[in-house]
Structure 1
Amino acid sequence: MITLYGVYRSRASRPLWLLAELGLPYTHIPVIQGYRLADPKAADAPLNTTSTAYLQVNPQGQIPAYTEDGLVLTESLAITLHIARCHGGALGPQNNAEAALMEQWSLFAATSVETPALEILYIIGDGGDKTPEGQASIAVNAEKLRRPLSRLAAHLSVHDWLVGDRFTAADINVAEIVRYAQSHPTLLGEFPSLQAWLVRCQSRPGFKAMWQARAAEPA
């Protein structure tokens, strides 16, 4: 039986989106980030990343975590790719080449897109876009994103999806990272094929179900 630990407002959104797409039965155990709580060690604190019970699952105290038949995974991209390989059907790899491409696109997004995209998200979320310093930092991080986003856009100008000309777990992993850059008011508009792909991804029922559940969680 699959058990997924984490809240929707975290990188758990990646496997939760895939699980929604697949309609797989699983147990979801909400685990909130300890830093979001005033006192994560309080007796009445909800299960969180500092809780002894959760640290027995992932001693690093991060979410998400995934268990299935004795297997424990603690990295969201690996979780999503594992679910896709074992349970994903057409959303998973159909051969070794597709598996390699799904891994490549996922790691590419994590290493080339995620950090500057998150920086932009955090700066804007904290109101830093209203200050000269924040605007300068946003500009620096947007420039860091232009090369990897150009690479994605070039691929998506001739393919509707990242792997195998069909929607797969690779699209989920990458879309959930590119989503962070949506906070920038104009950046994705520079890459029409990429922006159109992201709209296609976020129009899927699995994303809508995940996003609705995310919206229902406390911010």
Structure 2
Amino acid sequence: MITLYGSLHSRANRCAWMLRELDLDFRHEPTNFQDGSTRKAEFLRLNPNGRVPVLDDDGFVLFESLAINLYLAKKFGGPLGPTDLQEEALMMQWSLWVENEVEKPLLLAAANATLFAPDKRSAEERDVALAKLNRPWTVLDNLLAEQPYLTGDRFTVADLNVASVMTLGPIARIDLTAFANLDAWLMRCLDRPKATDWRSVSFSIPRPPGPLGMLSMFV
């Protein structure tokens, strides 16, 4: 039995999307960091970091959303999983890339675009974050000018992992039209029937105290 812990307004939505794409039955425990559930002893035994998501696959416990999805792709296969070692390496490459190159500046841009309360937003912080995204988004846009998906001609866990991070863009109404290939690819991914319905996602986050350079929220 597979159990997924985490509110679907958190990074757990990435794993719920993957489980649905694989047509896997799973039990959902909507653990929410905002109500203190992730700090309870029972949950900390699953993830001592006190964060969601966590996947329990019949006793095998794994945290970190993109790692969970790579594990599911490798275990259950199908078109979303790798067909050889090279494809597996590309799936890992793009998953690490989006986490290292895109997620933090995109989160900072999204927070200052719509997710912070209006009086807590900074146009300067938003613009600095968007400027940092220009290079990685250009890299992705150029690749998608040559092929429809990240590893070639089919949708895989690489696309799901990257698109699930990029979902913050349309949620925060960030304009991606300057990156036409990226924009079209993202909508292809998010319009898949099994994708988490990001259009219904509506939430805000409090502005944390101190500098925002290492902003780590939406957990």
In which range does the TM-score fall when normalised by the shorter chain? 0.7 to 0.9
TM-score w.r.t. the length of structure 1 is: 0.85
CA RMSD of aligned residues (A): 2.3
Aligned to 1:51: 40
User: In the alignment, is the contact (CA less than 8 A) between 2:110 and 2:174 conserved in 1?
Assistant: no
Aligned-partner Cα distance in 2 for 1:134–1:25: 43
Q: Deviations over 1:23-60 (max 9, x none)?
A: 11112111111xx23xx3xxxxxxx1012221121121
Relative to structure 1, the CA distance from residue 3 to residue 116 in structure 2 (aligned partners, 3 Å threshold; closer, same or farther) is: same
Relative to structure 1, the CA distance from residue 218 to residue 20 in structure 2 (aligned partners, 3 Å threshold; closer, same or farther) is: farther
Q: Deviations over 1:82-123 (max 9, x none)?
A: 001111311111111000000000100000000000001111
Q: Which amino acid aligns with 1:9?
A: H
Aligned to 1:43: none
Aligned to 1:181: 169
Residue of structure 2 aligned with 1:81, choices 70, 90, 105:
70
Residue of structure 2 aligned with 1:70, choices 36, 59, 67:
59
The sequence identity of aligned pairs, in percent, is 39
Which has a greater percent of helix?
1
Aligned to 1:152: 140
For 1:8, what is the secondary structure of its paired residue? Answer: coil
Aligned to 1:140: 128
Q: How many residue pairs are counted as aligned between the two chains?
A: 203
For 2:122, what is the secondary structure of its paired residue? Answer: helix
Aligned-partner Cα distance in 2 for 1:103–1:96: 11
Aligned to 2:191: 203
Q: Which amino acid aligns with 1:14?
A: R
Aligned-partner Cα distance in 2 for 1:142–1:108: 17
Aligned-partner Cα distance in 1 for 2:13–2:29: 13
Aligned-partner Cα distance in 1 for 2:15–2:154: 18
Q: How does 1:1-219 map to 2 (within 5 A)?
A: 1-33=1-33, 36-37=34-35, 40=36, 48-124=37-113, 125-128=115-118, 134-182=122-170, 183-186=172-175, 188-207=176-195, 210-211=196-197, 215=201
What stretches of structure 1 of length at least 5 have no aligned partner?
41-47
For 1:24, what is the secondary structure of its paired residue? Answer: coil
Q: Which amino acid aligns with 2:4?
A: L
Aligned-partner Cα distance in 1 for 2:140–2:198: 27
TM-score w.r.t. the length of structure 2 is: 0.85
Aligned to 2:210: none
User: In the alignment, is the contact (CA less than 8 A) between 1:5 and 1:31 conserved in 2?
Assistant: yes
Aligned-partner Cα distance in 2 for 1:117–1:184: 12
Relative to structure 1, the CA distance from residue 212 to residue 195 in structure 2 (aligned partners, 3 Å threshold; closer, same or farther) is: closer
Relative to structure 1, the CA distance from residue 15 to residue 185 in structure 2 (aligned partners, 3 Å threshold; closer, same or farther) is: closer
For 1:113, what is the secondary structure of its paired residue? Answer: helix
Aligned-partner Cα distance in 2 for 1:180–1:160: 21
Ranges of 4+ aligned residues in structure 1 off by more than 4 Å: 212-219
Relative to structure 1, the CA distance from residue 21 to residue 217 in structure 2 (aligned partners, 3 Å threshold; closer, same or farther) is: farther
